[in-house]
Structure formats: structure tokens, C-alpha cells
Structure 1
Amino acid sequence: MGRRKMRKKVVLACVECASRNYSTNKNSSINSERLEARKYCKNCGKHTLHRETK
């Protein structure tokens, strides 16, 4: 039997324009809340808050 996969693929979406710009991995056993990061949005043309989507 293989090891259980602890990392989960998540998609980050811009709060202002709701475009899904980034994807990353997160350790779901450590971080149960949604991931937030300030990243550059190419649609808005500036750095905005990006949140994990469902």
C-alpha cells in the first residue's frame, strides 16, 4: 500500500475580478482554513488579494 497523499492541489482566484490565476499545493493536515496571498493579477494589472477557491 502506498503512503497517503497529504498535499492537496488548490486554485487561487483574484478577489477583485474573480479570475483564477494561480494553482498551488497545500498541506491539508496542517492548514485547514483557506489560503490567502497577495499576488499579481494580469487582468487587474496590479497586486491583489487571491483566495483559495472550492
Structure 2
Amino acid sequence: MSKSKKKAETIFLVCEETGQYNYTLRKKPGGEKLRLKKYNPNLRKHTWHAEKKK
């Protein structure tokens, strides 16, 4: 029998300052939560974005 593969899940990157959903990613489950510095077009600057599942 073949092993079941973990499918990639859609996750959202939420701005920590405004709470807006600005980016989506497809990531395999497991591992640590992402926290990236990405551009926020409404604030016109780079802010921290954290991973969140909807």
C-alpha cells in the first residue's frame, strides 16, 4: 500500500498592525507558523504578517 501524502493547505498571511488578509500561500501542514515581513499596500510600508488558517 502506498503512503498517504500530506496535501498542501491554503493559508493566509494577516497583517499584525491592521488585521487585513493581504497574501495567500499554499503550504504543507506541519512545522512552525510563518511570520514574514511583507509589504502592506494600504499602509505603504513593510509590516509583519503572521500565518492564519481561515
TM-score computed with the length of structure 1 as normaliser: 0.76
The letter of the residue matching 2:7 is M
TM-score computed with the length of structure 2 as normaliser: 0.76
Larger Rg: 2
Runs of 4+ in 1 over 6 A off after TM superposition: none
The answer on whether the counterparts of 1:17 and 1:43 sit within 8 Å (CA) in structure 2 is: no
Question: Which residues of structure 2 form unaligned runs of 5+?
Answer: none
- State, as a whole percentage, how many aligned pairs show the same letter: 36
Q: How many residue pairs end up in the alignment?
A: 51
